[in-house]
Structure 1
Amino acid sequence: MPHPLALCALLVAAATVAVDSAVLTENGLPILWSQTAGQLTDLPIQDGVLMSNPWHYLHRMSLFRLLIAATDPYMGSMGPGPTDSPIWGLPLQLGWELTSGRLADPTGASSCGAETGDRMCISTHSWWACVNYYFSVIPFLSAAQQGLLGDSVPVQMQIPEGVTDYCTTYADCATLFPDLITKWDAFYQGLKAANLSDASDLEKRDHILGLYWEAHQASMAATAACSARQSYYSSSEVSFANSWQSSADFVAAVYFHSNIERSVMFMTPLPGRVLKEGDQAPNIADLSTEENNTLRIFAWMRSTNTMLGGTLVNIWRRTMCSIATREKGRVLLEQILLNPGFAPRTLLSIVTSATGC
């Protein structure tokens, strides 16, 4: 009998993946990328301190642009193209949150982020914006501390008056979230070390992606600090948000190479608006078949893993224990999330019968 994950090749050959062409990029880059800061001096500097405002979309997106530019010299093993860095998945996610209305004030008390208000405003009440803070500001602060952004320039994030539950400097974030900062520091240190290594590009890529997803999952764990903000959303949106978070466990285990091409493929079927009370996939009339399917699969993966007491994710992680099995796992994930004809029980059968390395 072949390894269960070898069935992936058969599934790929037999399936046809159809995905709606949602707009996630402009000229092949994240939304409004051309309007972001191309160098540190384009951001506000007060008394010698870089003072970015992560509550403005262009400022927060600028952090990603500067971060990618700073790390690209160490990303040669990721591929020959300028968009092969795994970090590209993060600004694409922020762009989707903007266009889907998830960065707007969910309380309705202000016009921050609303179509009729300041679209560039990121609400401090938004759960999605809060979660994203740990994937944008924290990695940027860590990169600055590790010297990747050039000469040591003190960095501090602006924060709206009266908002007290966000760390704004490396030191503050390291105190509040030591594991999170440690993992991002390790990622950048690993990037530098890999650049000097004699290992093959395949081995370097796998190692770098492993460090990246460890940092990513540390950020995800830290977002528990955002949980109170879920009270502003419908039960349908909260269910989707929780399922979206849970899906990251599966994605992280395969060391998903989140370059622009692959990230766009996976994000295109995400729901293009905030879900309302009563929205229930796969029967949400104003969402596409692909969006409904994504919501259905996310919910199934989370509910099944919960029902099995976390066994599904644990077995999946144990199975993804080598470069070869992780590659097969990535192919399987594409089928799960992108092929509406893929039966969820097939995943359960494959994973529960897997034997690992």
Structure 2
Amino acid sequence: MQCIWTLSLLQLVALWANAAVVTENGLPILWDQAPSQLSELPQADNVVTINPWNYLQRMSLYRILVGSTDKYMASMGTNETDSLFWGLPLQMGWKLRSGRLVDPTGATTCGEEGAPMCISANSWWACVNYYLSVIPFLAAVQKDVIGDGLIQVQVQAPAEAAEDYCTSYTDCSTKYPDLMAKWEEFFQTLKDVSASEISDFEKRDQILGVYWAGQQLSLNTASTSCKAKMSFYSSPEVSFAKSWMNSADYVAATYFQSNLNNSVLFMSPLPSRVLQEGDSAPNIADLSKEENHTLYIFGWMTRMNRILMGSLVRMWCSAMCSDKAREKGRELLQDLVHDPNKSV
């Protein structure tokens, strides 16, 4: 009863709207151009070398991951777009389209005209995404979800700031043992639970729980490892970035099923460009009403949580204290997304 009461109270702080385009032909940006098999990537002596500083190759990590895990995702739904991994490539496509993978220092033209597929190692957004792309991919290879144990993967270091990034399973496990272990736990759970005799509802709940635990630990790790790169951005962009990170707490607590359709609804109101000094939502002239509103709400929720010393997030997480409560939380978030005018 306490869970439902708290959930009802927290309806007062949530509001979502639709705005920006985050797909291309119904899929993440340039999805069809990204390699879909390990065999399509550079290989020598059973070692595949991936360049995550090229957008298409980093997107290929997601495309291969989605294809390799589909057989374990039956409990999520019967469509090819029901995998819980779709939210991640959608996020990366939004970062590309909005200019957040560009070199924020201006020292190079990485990500700009002439080098549009370049991902800058100086980008805070690209750095955070590294922990949500390369790390899970290496864990999937290690657990034989990708490659069937017959191949090794090496990750190419960037031309600059190479010391900020790990480049192999061994390297990443040494630098981030807890994070790698968490993602390995997820892939082992995915295989074990998908083959069990429990109901699809129970399978979904268990798989999503471990998945979001991995996502949250990736974000927490990235928040420390990538922190210095925030200095390259304007104060409004830094505030938005922090609010974007904080919003994951609310979504993760519901074990949100991040399939393609659900994720598009949550991605579409994000700002379509990097914020600059002087930008102040909800009055940014060249952003849509929906984008302005989302920025304002994100900022307000972050400020309120800070004023309340973290109790707003704690209340929400406390409300998600059972299978049924999490289900209602997911329904609430989806209802709010489908009805932009709903603010209760």
Band the TM-score falls in, shorter-chain normalisation: over 0.9
Tell me the residue number matched to 2:315: 315
Alpha-carbon distance in structure 2 between the residues aligned to 1:80 and 1:151: 24
| Shift, 1:336, TM fit | 5.9
Higher alpha-carbon deviation: 29-38 or 329-338: 329-338
User: Which of residues 70, 74, 77 is equivalent to 2:75?
Assistant: 77
Tell me the residue number matched to 1:128: 125
| One-letter amino acid of the counterpart of residue 310, structure 1 | G
Alpha-carbon distance in structure 2 between the residues aligned to 1:337 and 1:264: 10
Alpha-carbon distance in structure 1 between the residues aligned to 2:23 and 2:207: 25
Alpha-carbon distance in structure 2 between the residues aligned to 1:16 and 1:252: 17
1:4 is aligned to 2:2: no
Alpha-carbon distance in structure 2 between the residues aligned to 1:173 and 1:217: 17
Tell me the residue number matched to 1:194: 193
Alpha-carbon distance in structure 2 between the residues aligned to 1:55 and 1:220: 19
CA contact (8 A) 2:6 2:316 kept: no
Tell me the residue number matched to 1:50: 48
Cα offsets for 1:136-173 (capped at 9, x unmatched): 00000000000011332111100123421101111111
| Shift, 1:328, TM fit | 1.6
Alpha-carbon distance in structure 1 between the residues aligned to 2:6 and 2:328: 6
Tell me the residue number matched to 2:18: 19
Cα offsets for 1:13-33 (capped at 9, x unmatched): xx997523x321122111111
CA contact (8 A) 1:5 1:329 kept: no
Alpha-carbon distance in structure 1 between the residues aligned to 2:145 and 2:278: 47
CA contact (8 A) 1:5 1:328 kept: no
Cα offsets for 1:197-251 (capped at 9, x unmatched): 1111111111111010000001001102001011110000000000000010111
Tell me the residue number matched to 2:147: 150
Alpha-carbon distance in structure 1 between the residues aligned to 2:164 and 2:27: 32
Alpha-carbon distance in structure 2 between the residues aligned to 1:323 and 1:186: 21
Alpha-carbon distance in structure 2 between the residues aligned to 1:149 and 1:17: 36
Q: Output the aligned Cα RMSD.
A: 2.1
CA contact (8 A) 1:293 1:340 kept: no
Tell me the residue number matched to 2:230: 230
CA contact (8 A) 1:294 1:338 kept: no
- Between the two proteins, what is the percent identity of the paired residues? 57
CA contact (8 A) 1:37 1:65 kept: yes
Higher alpha-carbon deviation: 26-35 or 332-341: 332-341
1:171 is aligned to 2:173: no
1:276 is aligned to 2:276: yes
Alignment partner of 1:94: what SS?
Answer: helix
Larger RCO: Structure 1 or Structure 2 (Cα < 8 Å, ≥ 6 residues apart)? 2
CA contact (8 A) 1:194 1:204 kept: yes
| One-letter amino acid of the counterpart of residue 322, structure 1 | S
Tell me the residue number matched to 1:207: 206
Distance 1:280 1:6, change over 3 A: closer
| One-letter amino acid of the counterpart of residue 266, structure 2 | F
Residue segments in structure 2 that go unaligned for 5+ positions in a row: none
CA contact (8 A) 1:320 1:329 kept: yes
Alpha-carbon distance in structure 1 between the residues aligned to 2:43 and 2:7: 54
Alpha-carbon distance in structure 2 between the residues aligned to 1:305 and 1:320: 17
Tell me the residue number matched to 1:267: 267
| Shift, 1:117, TM fit | 2.5
CA contact (8 A) 2:103 2:122 kept: yes
Give the TM-score of the pair, scaled to structure 2. 0.93
| Shift, 1:66, TM fit | 0.4
Alpha-carbon distance in structure 1 between the residues aligned to 2:246 and 2:17: 24
Alignment partner of 1:151: what SS?
Answer: helix
Alpha-carbon distance in structure 1 between the residues aligned to 2:53 and 2:44: 17
Alignment partner of 1:51: what SS?
Answer: strand
Alpha-carbon distance in structure 2 between the residues aligned to 1:17 and 1:148: 35
| Shift, 1:327, TM fit | 1.7
Find runs of 4+ consecutive structure 1 residues off by over 6 angstroms: none
Residue segments in structure 1 that go unaligned for 5+ positions in a row: 347-357
Distance 1:6 1:211, change over 3 A: closer
| Shift, 1:257, TM fit | 0.6
| Shift, 1:175, TM fit | 1.2
Cα offsets for 1:62-96 (capped at 9, x unmatched): 00000111111000000011011111000000000
Tell me the residue number matched to 1:327: 327
